[in-house]
Amino acid sequence: MTKYIVRRLLQMIPVLIGVSILVFSLMHLIPGNAAQIMAGEGASPETIKQLEEKLGLNDPLVVQYGKYMSRVVQGDLGDSIRNGRPVIEEIKTRFWVTAELAIYSTILAVFIGLIAGIVSAVRHYTWADVSIMIVALFGLSMPNFWLGLVLIQWFAVGGDWLPEILKMRPSGWGESWRQVVLPVIALGTGGAAIIARMTRSSMLEVIGQDYIRTARAKGVSERVVIYRHALKNALIPVITVVGLEFGAFLGGAVITETIFAINGMGRLTIQAIQQRDFPVVQGTVLVLSMLFVFVNLIVDVSYRFLNKRIDLN
């Protein structure tokens, strides 16, 4: 397993280099001048030219990218064009907000999705199964930004029908549980629907296996058959989906944080794109990409613990 982990870590290097090249190229293709934005609309051409020289924006793109990567390998993501602060400090102040939002949304999605998927598989082709799958279809169909706006209208802005203790706050993060509930629901609902459908499909496949019929024939209780034998073997594809959904939540946090005015990495990225703050955009995308790759590595390693027959070497 150690060799596998080392090999996967080495494979991360070309992936992250590819991501950095892509983001660097796209940011420089966006219309607009970072020096112009930084200097202000009334700045003279001489002032803008001096800023471009200071920021290295006059250098060829290959030279700019080489300088950027030489700093990155030393742990320096550069300084923000907007406020001059180190990008790593900008990320540190926002990272845990986005991480908490993604983790809470994943927990909600797994909790609801597993329960719904198991119930749907055990009672397949009944009204419970049909009802759960219809709800899951709606969950998949609703964009999280639309759901977020609906939740704000129902439970915050227009929530006069709710007791004061249950009325949610539509903006901010971390000061109260009332600020956490709505963005977590908005972000986690789609993931819960996907996990429910995958759990149902995987459970139905496992339940039809010979060893499940043998266990039932031996008189093993249905609860033990479902939760000890069937669910354990059905979890591998589900865990794969959970890992992918966690990465999707990190990306989806960009929209959710904007809707709910949450000062996380997603909102930081949007602000940096609008202000042509290249170092911040590149730094946030690089960090999120690294996190996503690490999550996929953890998912792959977890297969070994679920099924000892899987060889990772």
Read off the pLDDT of residues 243-301 as tens digits, 9 standing for 90 and up: 888 888 887 788 888 889 888 888 888 888 877 777 888 888 888 888 888 888 888 77
Mean pLDDT of 139-146: 87
249 located within any domain: yes
Q: What pLDDT is attached to residue 145? A: 85
228 located within any domain: yes
Q: What pLDDT is attached to residue 41? A: 66
Residue whose tokens read 């550069």: 78
What residue numbers bound the domain in which 132 lies? 90-273
Mean pLDDT of 232-236: 83
What's the total number of domains in the chain? Answer: 1
Distance CA 177, CA 165 (A): 11
Mean pLDDT of 149-165: 80
Q: Which residues pair with 79 in a beta bridge?
A: 86
Instruction: Indicate the pLDDT class of residue 305, thresholds 50, 70 and 90.
Output: confident
Q: What pLDDT is attached to residue 185? A: 92
Q: What pLDDT is attached to residue 37? A: 66
Residue 106 scores a pLDDT above 90: yes
Q: What pLDDT is attached to residue 168? A: 81
Distance CA 278, CA 26 (A): 10
307 located within any domain: no
CATH code for the domain in which residue 262 is found: 1.10.3720.10
101 located within any domain: yes
46 located within any domain: no
- pTM, whole model, 2 decimals? 0.84
